[in-house]
Structure 1
Amino acid sequence: MITIDGLVKRRGKTEILSGVGFQALPGRVTGFLGPNGAGKSSTLRILLGLDRAQQGTALVNGVPFVSLADPVRTVGAVLDGSGAHRSRTGRAHLRWVARSAGLPLSRIDEVLELVGLADAGSKRVGRYSLGMGRRLALATALLGDPPVLVLDEPLNGLDPEGIRFIRTFLRERAESGRTVLLSSHLMGELAETVDDVVVIDRGRIVAQGTLAEVTGAHRSLEEAFFALVSR
């Protein structure tokens, strides 16, 4: 599980995060929602050890990411695309990552099949569509078969088919007992994906709970979201 407690992050005199805290639980998809610039990516970067907070903790299974004994087999993360060189094939990219992490090369075909790229593994990444690039990034995150998955804006820019794939995939991961945390500003699509919702605005958590609790008397998650962030 993921436990974030009291995160405070400042850049100069500007406070980016102000006491951010929430949990993402096993067996559930947690949507971390907020407008662009609300603090979603900053929170995830601190969780993954890519940035530091002045105060607070961000833990995976009770441990900071940088202290995990085997991070690749514990957390799979996608923050900024696939990270693959455009001249490499998808399979070559995964082979490089697997070797650097000490993972079995047999896992490469498994994850390509899992994300629907089995027939595209030999294609150069530069010829991938946006959706294929997102799937390759997901395959990379899954190489270590981690129980925790963290995705930053996984639906952004995808066509309806890509959105359906990601939605179904994440639901299946959660139903198998994994922890799934994803950030997004696309409310309409998230409503069919998440179990729990955390809403952040201007660096502060303004609501959290189950989808039904956060939606409340509103007709949709989107309507509830705009009511919360416009206060």
Structure 2
Amino acid sequence: MLQWFACYAANIRTRSAAIARFFEARMGVVALAWLAVFTLSSAVRLALAVSPVESLRDAAILALPYILIAAAPIAGFLIAERAFPRGTLSAQPEVRLAFYGHWRRLDVLEARRSPVFGPAGFMASLLVGMLLNVVIRSFEFLVSMPALNGHAPEWAQQMMLVMVADVVVMSFFYMVCFVLALRTVPLFPRMLLFAWLLDIAMQLLIAQHVAALPDLPVNVAVPLHGLLHGNVTKVLISAFVWLPYLLLSDRVNITYRSRGPAED
């Protein structure tokens, strides 16, 4: 039985490591697939626009939010990828934020020789989760927000503005986190914590801003409140699930903090 579990665990590690290798080698394909699917879906939404298009300016304002949302995760990936090229050995931050546990310091090369170094195992699930978060948030926007331009009421334009800003900013930062995790950059755990905190702050700011809009219909305010509440809940669940792993996992500490379990 123990041998079977050992073989099963080894198989899981092999498969999860293949996920990271796939993303390293095929992110261009993933980006093209994202652009194709989101562009097609946006075209359907634009075809059902509730605002009239009377000029080229109206059409540009109508399409701009969808262009920004499509481009945000790609921009986040490209900027982070250029900042942290593959194979770069990044220094550890001078100030430690994770103190729990007993660890011994490893040099960078010793950490990289460890059999548990790299974004495999549960880390591969976190990689996939960050990508799915970008996709889900973007398509939630498509479903919940009609295409609007300057002919829409002021409250609708303001709501469109803040919702687009939310999706664009968070898609950008979650993709930066994705690259940091994939490239084993030591800043990854604290960058993900920053993204979670920023995400919650943005939901609260949007709720405050939208609540102050004059003439906001009740049948719009109620589902919007549910969407924002759902976003906060998802972030809190993610933090609850992943924070213990990010603090205590041998893989995370060896890969991103260059420290291993203390020897007895």
Give TM-score scaled by structure 2 length: 0.26
Higher Cα Rg, which structure: 2
Report which of the two has the higher share of strand: 1
Give TM-score scaled by structure 1 length: 0.29
Report which of the two has the higher share of helix: 2
